Chain A
Amino acid sequence: RKEVEQDPGPFNVPEGATVAFNCTYSNSASQSFFWYRQDCRKEPKLLMSVYSSGNEDGRFTAQLNRASQYISLLIRDSKLSDSATYLCVVMGSGYSTLTFGKGTMLLVSP
């Protein structure tokens, strides 16, 4: 099993749709989890941290399931500007390394 695994997509959705991505991780000792967003040919930028109790930021909701070792990202009322690649990031017990997933591409169409 890869350290951090994501469905590469692309997920093609119309504006206004709700879409969800999952990300699985292999290291049960992983401590911290994040979602980053990367636009085409741009650098990654933090979207949100993922807390054990789940957290919401506007249209975005992140959840962590430690038992099944996955995190999820839900985007409600998709906008054209949400089109990007969403990177799952996991920090393991080896603190110095953050492991990035390869990302899930989202394409929102009019």
Chain B
Amino acid sequence: GAGVSQSPSNKVTEKGKDVELRCDPISGHTALYWYRQRLGQGLEFLIYFQGNSAPDKSGLPSDRFSAERTGESVSTLTIQRTQQEDSAVYLCASSLLPASSGANVLTFGAGSRLTVL
């Protein structure tokens, strides 16, 4: 597609429920990132996918968080047993070049705003 698409744009859920967020990167972009941005805060790195390499999961805050990506296409971020502190905007970004290139310009999606009641 023309840009990075994320869905849902807004999600309200109850504490303890599981949620799944989807990211559809720009076609041909090999690198895909997930970030979290709490209200008034900076971006927190969650996970990075590059092609068929093992993902860098070093930013995932707990084992309740997981993400998958099939090849170089859609990625899903799953949060199990959601907590109120999970409330944030979850941003997905993709890049044509891998991070190792040093020239990886990120294009972000509009984000998925998650509210946990």
Which positions in A face B, CB cutoff 8 Å?
31-32, 34, 36, 42-46, 49, 87, 91, 95-103
A57 to B43, CA, bound (A): 25
- 0/1 per residue, B14-47, Cβ < 8 Å to A? 0000000000000000000101000001110100
Asked whether, in the complex, the Cβ of A43 is within 8 Å of the Cβ of B48, the reply is: no
Contacts of A101 in B (CB 8 A): 42
Q: A43-B110, A95-B100 are in contact. Are A100 and B42 (CB under 8 A)?
A: yes
Kindly report which residue of chain A lies nearest to residue B49, judged by CB atoms: A96
Asked whether, in the complex, the Cβ of A31 is within 8 Å of the Cβ of B102, the reply is: yes
Contacts of B91 in A (CB 8 A): 43-44
Asked whether, in the complex, the Cβ of B105 is within 8 Å of the Cβ of A96, the reply is: no
Main secondary structure of the interface of A (DSSP, over half): strand
> What 5 A-B pairs are tightest by C-beta distance, nearest first?
A102-B42, A43-B108, A96-B56, A100-B43, A95-B99
A99 to B48, CA, bound (A): 12
Can you name 8 A-B residue pairings with CB atoms under 8 Å?
A31-B102, A36-B106, A43-B109, A43-B110, A46-B106, A91-B102, A95-B102, A98-B33
Asked whether, in the complex, the Cβ of B111 is within 8 Å of the Cβ of A103, the reply is: no
Contacts of B106 in A (CB 8 A): 36, 44, 46, 98
Kindly report which residue of chain B lies nearest to residue A45, judged by CB atoms: B108
Which positions in B face A, CB cutoff 8 Å?
33, 35, 41-43, 45, 48, 50, 56, 58-59, 91, 98-100, 102-111
Partner of B45, one of A46, A99, A103: A99
Taking the closest CB of chain A, its distance from the CB of B32, in whole angstroms, is 11
Asked whether, in the complex, the Cβ of B103 is within 8 Å of the Cβ of A97, the reply is: no
Contacts of B105 in A (CB 8 A): 34, 46, 49
Taking the closest CB of chain B, its distance from the CB of A47, in whole angstroms, is 11
Asked whether, in the complex, the Cβ of A97 is within 8 Å of the Cβ of B56, the reply is: yes
Contacts of B98 in A (CB 8 A): 95
A98 to B99, CA, bound (A): 8
Contacts of A98 in B (CB 8 A): 33, 45, 99, 104, 106
Contacts of A45 in B (CB 8 A): 108
Taking the closest CB of chain A, its distance from the CB of B102, in whole angstroms, is 4
